[in-house]
Structure 1
Amino acid sequence: MISYNTKDWFTFIFHFHKSDTVRKLLPIMIAIGIYSAAIGYLEVEHFKLGKNDYIHNIPIMHGMLGFVISLLLVFRTNTAYDRWWEGRKLWGGLVNSSRNLAIKLSAILKDENDRKFFRKYIPTYAMVLHTHLHDSETGLMLFEDVELELDQHKHKPNQLMRIMFGKINDLYDAKKITGDQLIILNNELQSFTDICGACERIKNTPIPYSYSAFIKKFIFFYIMTLPFGYSVSLGYLVAPVVVFIFYVLASLELIAEEIEDPFGDDENDLPTKKIAENIKKHVEELI
């Protein structure tokens, strides 16, 4: 996750980070610039089109469609950010659940071996969940046409939770904890599985294909028709204008694609490994 100063405007404006969309879009921006310049040359120099030609009225269509495309992109980015922020809230919940469980076990357990067990397994769950969510096959669990090598009967977070609950149950059988304490600890353990399931829901449920494909096609045809309408008014300046408009629209789509899966390896994704390490540190302090 990128660390930055939100108030440093000049750094944002003049510094190009390696994750910046300019680097990703540069080849296609150059191609669109050449395409726009070619259309401008043909209309202005070859066909000698002027403001009295019907093609000069094409920007009326762009004005009407611009409102539609802006609504689509706003919805797209908001939906992607909601997924990113929900993922952050879930991992914040995992931090709190780990702390609460560690605090209660610290007060309940007297045997050092029992304390050592949970000192190890509570932070291990967070690290295993981090690995599970970064597995590419985890994101394909709901796709019917994909053959997975992953053995679904060996769901690692579930297996780890089974071991921890088995230990809690053994403590109850050994009369080391009471029935009321068993219920309290069970609720804490259940929150771990709830968080895992919610994270999997984000990971393996992408934005509907038809919606994502439509936005990309809409942006493409919108940009490809811009030079036809504006070449008469702008001349060769149509090339940088169209390139800039493409950069704005395509960047919003790229940003949405990057943050809609917060459990990936992109620089703007959630630092789940660091959060898991912090959980380990806090649990070891408590138990």
Structure 2
Amino acid sequence: MIQYNPKDWITFIFRFHKSDTFRQLFPMMVFIGLYSYAIGYLEMEYWQLSEKSFVKNITIMHGMLGFVISLLLVFRTNTAYDRWWEGRKLWGELVNNSRNLALKLSVILKEEHDRNYFKKLIPSYASVLQKHLANDDTAKVLFEGLVLEIDQHKHKPNQVAKMLYQKIQDLYEQGKISGDQLLILNQELISFTNVCGACERIKNTPIPYSYSAFIKKFIFFYIMTLPFGYVFSLGYYVIPVVVFIFYVLASLELIAEEIEDPFGYDANDLPTEKIAANIKKHVEEIL
């Protein structure tokens, strides 16, 4: 995730980050510029259309559709941001639940080797979940003496959660924790799987294809018809105007595409790896 100062306007305006949409759209912007020049040349120089040509009135269509496309892009951006923000809240919940479980165990458990087991296993859940959501293979996770063998053909976070449940059950059977304490700890363990399921819902449920495809087609045909009408009022200045309009509309769609799946390694995705490292640090401090 990009770290930045939101009050530094100069940096925002004149600096182009590697994830900036300008870099991604530059080839298409060149094509749109050449296309706009070709339309302007044909209408003004080759066909020599007059101001009375009905082609000039095509701008009426753009005025009517401009409101529609703005509504679509606002909805698209808000939907993608909601998914990004929900993912951040879920990982914040995982941080708090990991701390709460560690705090309770630090008070309940008296033997050092039991505390050390959870000191390694609780952070491993966040680490495995991070790799699971990012589609990374997790055959083996090492935590300073604790080796977790993960079966690639089974749900990886569930395997770690089962180890946590198993250890808690063993402690209960050994009389090291009471029935009431077992119920208290059970709530924290349940929350781990709830967070995992909610993250998977975001990961595995993209924006419907027909909706995303329609927006892309709408933007494309909207932009490709702009030069026909505006060349009469702007002349060859229609080239930078159309390119800029394309940059704005297409950038909104690209931003939405990037943040709607917040668990990968894109520049604007959630720093889940860093959050998992913080969970490990905090749990080790508590236990």
The alignment's TM-score, normalised by the length of structure 1, stands at 0.94
Q: Tell me which amino acid in the other structure corresponds to 2:216.
A: K
1:235-254, CA deviations, whole angstroms, 9 ceiling, x for partnerless residues?
11111110000000000000
Query: Is 1:70 the counterpart of 2:70 in the alignment?
Result: yes
Q: Which residue of 2 aligns with 1:52?
A: 52
Q: Tell me which amino acid in the other structure corresponds to 1:241.
A: V
Q: Which residue of 1 aligns with 2:40?
A: 40
Give the Cα separation in 1 of the matches to 2:260 and 2:55: 39
Give the Cα separation in 1 of the matches to 2:34 and 2:78: 33
Residues 259-270 of structure 1: pairs in structure 2 closer than 5 A: 259-270=259-270
Residues 245-260 of structure 1: pairs in structure 2 closer than 5 A: 245-260=245-260
Residues 189-268 of structure 1: pairs in structure 2 closer than 5 A: 189-268=189-268
Query: Is 1:18 the counterpart of 2:15 in the alignment?
Result: no
Give the Cα separation in 2 of the matches to 1:167 and 1:192: 15
Give the Cα separation in 1 of the matches to 2:166 and 2:208: 39
Q: Tell me which amino acid in the other structure corresponds to 1:95.
A: V
* Distance change in 2, residues 1:136/1:69 (3 Å): farther
- The alpha-carbon deviation at position 154 of structure 1 amounts to 1.3
Q: Which residue of 1 aligns with 2:130?
A: 130
- The alpha-carbon deviation at position 47 of structure 1 amounts to 1.1
1:57-100, CA deviations, whole angstroms, 9 ceiling, x for partnerless residues?
00000000000000000000000000000000000000000000
Residues 276-287 of structure 1: pairs in structure 2 closer than 5 A: 276-287=276-287
Give the Cα separation in 1 of the matches to 2:61 and 2:282: 59
* Distance change in 2, residues 1:24/1:222 (3 Å): same
Give the 3-state SS of the residue equivalent to 1:58 in structure 2: helix
- The alpha-carbon deviation at position 50 of structure 1 amounts to 2.1
1:115-160, CA deviations, whole angstroms, 9 ceiling, x for partnerless residues?
01100000000000000000079xxxxxxxxxxxxx8851110011
Q: Which residue of 2 aligns with 1:5?
A: 5
Give the Cα separation in 2 of the matches to 1:6 and 1:219: 29
Q: Which residue of 2 aligns with 1:145?
A: none
Give the Cα separation in 1 of the matches to 2:77 and 2:88: 17
- The alpha-carbon deviation at position 170 of structure 1 amounts to 0.6
Give the 3-state SS of the residue equivalent to 1:19 in structure 2: coil
Mark the runs of 5 or more structure 2 residues left unpaired by the alignment. Answer: 138-150
Give the 3-state SS of the residue equivalent to 1:182 in structure 2: helix
The alignment's TM-score, normalised by the length of structure 2, stands at 0.94
Q: Bigger shift: 41-50 or 245-254?
A: 41-50
Q: Which residue of 1 aligns with 2:184?
A: 184
Q: Which residue of 1 aligns with 2:31?
A: 31
* Distance change in 2, residues 1:130/1:136 (3 Å): closer
- The alpha-carbon deviation at position 186 of structure 1 amounts to 0.6
Give the Cα separation in 2 of the matches to 1:69 and 1:152: 44
Query: Is 1:84 the counterpart of 2:66 in the alignment?
Result: no
Q: Which residue of 1 aligns with 2:175?
A: 175
Give the Cα separation in 2 of the matches to 1:269 and 1:153: 27
Q: Which residue of 2 aligns with 1:95?
A: 95
1:170-223, CA deviations, whole angstroms, 9 ceiling, x for partnerless residues?
111011101000000011000000000000000111000000000000000000
Give the Cα separation in 1 of the matches to 2:163 and 2:279: 19
Q: Tell me which amino acid in the other structure corresponds to 2:4.
A: Y
Instruction: Count residues in correspondence.
Output: 275
Give the Cα separation in 1 of the matches to 2:30 and 2:153: 49
Give the 3-state SS of the residue equivalent to 2:48 in structure 1: coil
Q: Which residue of 2 aligns with 1:162?
A: 162
Mark the runs of 5 or more structure 1 residues left unpaired by the alignment. Answer: 138-150
Q: Tell me which amino acid in the other structure corresponds to 1:183.
A: L
Give the Cα separation in 2 of the matches to 1:254 and 1:209: 15
